[in-house]
Copies of this chain bind each other. A is one copy, B any other.
């Protein structure tokens, strides 16, 4: 497994692979790899000749009061896991490589980055769009793999690819969950035992929402959201940031629920912000 630190080296590897007619699959990550990330790598291995993983904690997608400093970093562990899966290359630039002095270019993705998580994380999705565009230009993937857990992110990246004309297919992979239902996230490591227990309410609320729509035929989004909120509020450690039901294609909020619909939520548990979602489809 090749470890690559510079943009130039990564580009010349990718350029050579493409001339050889090899397909490149790419999973961009911020490290602290869990089974969710590893599922992306496995899927990429199945579908491409070469699989590249990037590990870079991107400061531009963290707000000034967010957890950039304490975000979990575990390079050695990560590389061990990727090597076990036979990833072909890991692109691991440092901060100076990605943000040299005077760096000033940014991509603005528009309104889709200002709703849902964008409300409490202003600038976050522009930071994501900018780094993903740069990583795509560096790795030149045929296919790039993202987890559905970050549902708004996948919508932002699909829009980025469509509107900036990247020649890359975006593959969205299912959310991987702990046995008790909590969506895997590097940020789960922040939770103490009490908080971890209370976090189960997220998935329970999403399943309740799905149940209300599919089995009880509820169509009014406000009612579904209200029932979900009532359930979540039984957990005193959990503060709701938002619960929203949106059109999964463009993230437009819906009043009258039509399928498929995405129920998205974000909460704070102590200092930890967690998100999750479920796509409700015709059964």
Seen from chain A, the residues whose Cβ lies within 8 Å of a Cβ on chain B are 7, 11, 15, 18-19, 21, 102-112, 129-130, 133-135, 137-138, 140, 159-160, 163-167, 250
Contact = CB atoms under 8 A, between A and B. Distances in A.
A106 B108 contact: yes
B107 A107 contact: yes
A110 B160 CA distance: 19
Contact of A104 (B15, B138, B163): B163
Contacts of A105: 107-110, 129, 159-160, 163-164
A91 to B, nearest CB: 11
B165 A134 contact: yes
A15 B165 contact: no
Q: Which of A140, A165, A166 has the most CB of B within 10 A?
A: A165
A164 B134 contact: yes
Contacts of A102: 250
A251 to B, nearest CB: 12
Q: Ordered nearest first, which 8 A-B pairs have the shortest CB separation?
A: A104-B110, A105-B163, A137-B165, A134-B165, A138-B165, A11-B167, A106-B108, A137-B166
Contacts of A110: 104-106
Contacts of A129: 105
Q: Which of A111, A129, A130, A164 has the most CB of B within 10 A?
A: A164
12 contacts: A11-B167, A102-B250, A104-B109, A104-B110, A104-B111, A104-B112, A104-B159, A105-B108, A105-B109, A105-B110, A106-B108, A134-B165
A223 to B, nearest CB: 29
